[in-house]
Amino acid sequence: MSDEQYMQRAMTLAQAAADAGEVPVGAVVVDPATGEIVGEGRNGPIGAHDPTAHAEIVAIRAAAAKLGNYRLPGLDLYVTLEPCAMCAGAISFARIRRLVFAATDEKGGAVLHGPKFFDQPTCHWRPEVRTCSEFAADSALMLKHFFRARRA
């Protein structure tokens, strides 16, 4: 499968989050050697009563449980929105090989914006980072519609 196909799965998970009343963000962890999705998640802090239940954390936890290891070297993470500082920390601690995300997040993102977590000297593991710009507009629009509906 291609980056675009994995990101499409993450977008499907983001829509499922929105349908459940959660902020629409989805994520998948992939083993690029086999093409297998080894973990996936969608935002769920409200339903799980867990402020750490961001899509990236849920996907990383699922992959770690499936593989029986808290480190995920050699694996790739696809997420529909630029990770926040908490999720960037988890990505670093898990030793994710490559991070691919769709929409940037000027307000809450911590990879290209804000603290730029992976550029900090205290960050001991830095994944390769790629934006999947072909999904950026769709992801941003999904988020915009979600928050507009909440304000109405």
Catalytic residues: 56
The C-alpha atoms of residue 50 and residue 69 are separated, in whole angstroms, by: 22
What residues does 30 pair with on adjacent strands? 37, 76
Strands (E), 32-119: 36-42, 76-81, 98-103
Is residue 87 a known part of a binding site?
Answer: yes
Is residue 124 a known part of a binding site?
Answer: no
The C-alpha atoms of residue 25 and residue 40 are separated, in whole angstroms, by: 11
Is residue 54 a known part of a binding site?
Answer: yes
The C-alpha atoms of residue 62 and residue 73 are separated, in whole angstroms, by: 15
The annotation places the binding site for Zn(2+) at 54, 84, 87
The annotation places the binding site at 54, 84, 87
